[in-house]
């Protein structure tokens, strides 16, 4: 018998000089989504199906599947988190998403305090905000790991859950010609320079008008 890192308690027997799994003891008592790594890091388990966090309200996608054909392998961040660039950190809200075993909570805090607590902790990957409908009872759970999430699986008639997943936006990259334009003067350029830029700075064409 062996308890694996994925949370499964399996029974093995020897066959042809090697261990062969013959039973998974907890499957009759637990839903697939209650296993910590069922959908990999940052994967969302919904009724036994795995997916990555979708497009955020700001129109950005912060996650992508590690393997499109194997969603249970989990998701990776498109821009990895860096503790040195906290000014570029944001939170993607995942409604009705909770963790299979949240850490000890901080009581009587609002959602902004929950976010700030996570931002000040470099190891924090996700904060879970648990609240009653009247918001009189609120708790924040700081999670350093990034195991699978569970959506709509708490079956809690009183409390709701909100996952605050910390993400990082890519800093704006200054185009190389921006500095040139900022320093250009009529004395240095007898004729005006007209630039036609395509979106994203993919092409530059210059034309002098005499």
Residue 185's φ and ψ, nearest 5 degrees, are -135, 160
Phi, psi of 177 (to 5 degrees): -85, -10
Tens of pLDDT, residues 56-104: 998 999 999 999 999 999 999 999 888 888 888 999 999 999 887 666 7
75 closest CA partner among 66, 84, 86: 66
156-178 residue pLDDT tens: 778 889 999 999 987 754 434 33
In 104-194, alpha helices (H): 111-119, 176-183
Burial class (CB within 10 angstroms; exposed 0-12, middle 13-18, buried 19+) of 49? middle
Could you read off the pLDDT of 32-61 as tens digits, one per residue? 788 888 899 999 999 889 999 999 998 999
Helix (H) or strand (E) holding 207: strand 204-208
Estimate to the nearest angstrom the gap between the alpha carbon of 197 and the chain centroid. 33
Summarize pLDDT for 103-153 with one digit per residue, the tens: 678 898 999 999 999 999 989 999 999 888 776 788 999 988 778 899 875
3-state helix, strand, coil split of the chain in percent (to 5) is 10, 35, 50
Helix (H, G, I), strand (E, B) or coil at 204: strand
What's the pTM value of the predicted model, to 2 decimals?
A: 0.70
Contacts of 203 (CB under 8 A, 6+ apart): 197
Per-residue pLDDT at 32? 79
Q: What does the H/E/C string look like for 132-158?
A: ECCCCCEEEEEECCCCCEEECCCCCCC
Q: Do 126 and 53 meet the contact criterion of CB atoms below 8 Å apart?
A: no
- Chain centroid to Cα 131, Å, comes to 21
d(CA 204, CA 138): 53
Closest CA to 164 of 34, 56, 38: 56
């Amino acid at each position: 018998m062996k308890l694996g890192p994925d949370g499964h308690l399996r029974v093995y027997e020897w066959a042809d000089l090697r261990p062969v799994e013959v039973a998974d003891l907890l499957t009759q008592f637990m839903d697939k989504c209650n296993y910590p790594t069922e959908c990999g890091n940052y994967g969302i388990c919904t009724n036994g199906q795995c997916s990555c966090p979708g497009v955020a309200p700001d129109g950005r996608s912060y996650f992508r599947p590690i393997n499109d054909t194997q969603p249970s392998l989990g998701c990776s961040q498109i821009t990895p988190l860096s503790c040195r660039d906290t000014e570029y950190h944001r939170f993607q809200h995942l409604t009705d998403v909770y963790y299979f075993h949240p850490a000890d909570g901080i009581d009587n805090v609002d959602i902004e305090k929950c976010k700030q607590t996570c931002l000040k902790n470099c190891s924090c990957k996700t904060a879970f905000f648990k609240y009653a409908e009247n918001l009189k009872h609120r708790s924040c759970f700081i999670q350093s790991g990034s195991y699978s999430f569970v959506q709509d699986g708490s079956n809690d008639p009183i409390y709701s859950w909100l996952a605050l997943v910390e993400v990082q936006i890519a800093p704006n990259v200054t185009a190389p010609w921006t500095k040139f334009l900022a320093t250009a003067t009529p004395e240095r350029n007898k004729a005006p320079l007209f630039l036609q830029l395509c979106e994203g700075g993919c092409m530059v064409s210059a034309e002098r008008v005499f």
